[in-house]
Amino acid sequence: MKRSVKTILAAAFAAAAVSTVAFFALPASAEAASFTVTNSWGSGYQGEITVSNGSSSKIDTWKVELTLPAGSTIAQSWNATLATAGQTFTFTPAGWNASIAGGAATSFGFIVNGSGRPTACTVNGQACTGLTGTPATSSPAATPTGAKPSATTASPTSSAKPTSASPTATTASPTPTRTATGSTPLAINGQLKVCGVNLCNAAGKKIQLRGVSSHGIHWFPSCYPGAALDALATDWNADLFRIAMYVQEGGYETDPSGLTSKVNSLVDQAEARGMYALIDFHILNPGDPSYNLTRAKEFFAKVAARNADKKNVIYEIANEPNGVSWTTIKNYAEQVIPVIRANDPDGIVVVGTRAWSSLGVSEGSSSAEIISNPVNAANVMYAFHFYAASHKDNYRAEVTRAAASLPLFVTEFGTVSASGDGAVDTASTNAWIDLLDKLKISYANWNFGDKSEGSSILKPGACASGTFSGTTPLTESGQLIRSRIRTADDF
């Protein structure tokens, strides 16, 4: 072309429509849980539960049990395994997030059909209590100091406003907004590298980057000021910003110097905020990357030389090849990669794959052709793109197979149909993100723009208004993606 509930609540709170956050105080050296309503609408809401370990010892597993009032049920969940017995909903680890180190936390989310908030909760068999350690008798809608911004923001269509109160000494935000320079993704991970089939940080730890893609930077310049990147870095807690520079359609071929300058400026802005920058050479029509080989060599020679000393740059050399063979794509890659390597020997290069970067699936092929004939270069990953309403189980199965042999990077995905428009497919989107989280595959959602289409993260006119933080400027797609990206990274 792109997350617990204050328990033992009064019935009045069960019917409340505003988004609230509350914390459970458990005995010393025990796990704690927090609940957030991250989005709400007339017939339901989206919730997120964070289980945090306040002790110095590791927790080997966890179990959260929630009870909902009659008429409300959990329709789906992610980052956890859900079991249902009547009105009791039991969440256990998805597998990879069972262990919680001392001082760390893990989160999972769910969709509730119905407006009823939970009336009871236990964490590993211990009763959850309120801020003061006693059951609440009213709806406090408390916002602890240091909590994530906008955690208590109501749905954009709601006129209700949350109140705030100071937390008790035992209350803490389990996933605070990044403010210190040393806590950014870039500061923690440094120069990235490919290790086996994974993306790894400078220390060799397998990691996953989560972020968003711009739309065409020449079409929506008002969407990418410093305030937008501030929101992504500190409100979204994004790790990655993909800079989509179209080549045709009024892009690079029309203004090579101007577009190169814009790309470099956004690389600098991402670096200043501790985010990684994915430079996307956005070919689409024509689908043969060879058509733009000379332009690609020119562009990547310049940006690689200019950004060689930076640790936050990743190069995506061909967005969505289509209508051509894997052999043609591979030949293109093996001519462009040396141009980058001549200036930046350490930068990761992402190679587009056949059939709109679907690993060939959308043209009746598969990843087998890449596995048997990989690009002859080091520090290379392979792009996969999907649109949740169009690409489902067979595509997920192919990604699962391919991930066992190839280092994959989802450089673009949408919550809607492959047209970039239509209704948000929440279930398929969450199934996809659950899979990517499980496999530690990095991703960027399409798109951080305000075009009037289903895949846009921002509502029409949001960029001109200059408002980017919180949920008010976000579309349905934007609210869903923000809620998933804001959860704690596993760095």
271, 320, 398, 453: the active-site residue: 320
48, 271, 412, 453: the active-site residue: 412
Residue-wise DSSP of 4-39: ----S--HHHHT--S--EEE---STTSEEEEEEEEE
3-class DSSP state for residue 199? strand
Which residues, other chains included, contact 364 with Cβ-Cβ below 8 Å and sequence gap of 6+? none
Q: Could you report how far apart the first and last alpha carbons of the chain are, in Å?
A: 30
**Tokens 């940080």 — which residue?**
201
CA-CA-CA-CA torsion sign (174, 178, 183, 186): positive
**What is the strand order of the sheet 120-123 is part of?**
80-85, 88-93, 64-67, 120-123, 126-127
412 annotated active-site: yes
Taking residue 172's Cβ as centre, other Cβ atoms within 10 Å add up to 17
Torsion of CA 455, 457, 462, 463, to 10 degrees: -90
476 annotated active-site: no
Q: Side chain identity at 283, as an amino acid letter?
A: I
Angle between helices 293-307 and 326-341 (to 10 degrees): 30
Peptide bond into 376 cis (omega under 30): no
State the DSSP code for 387: E
- CA dist 116 and 138 (Å) reads 15
Nearest 5 degrees, angle CA 98-CA 435-CA 391? 165
Phi-psi bin for 27: left (phi > 0), alpha (psi -120 to 50), beta?
A: beta
Beta bridge partners of 243: 279
- Catalytic residue annotation: 320, 412
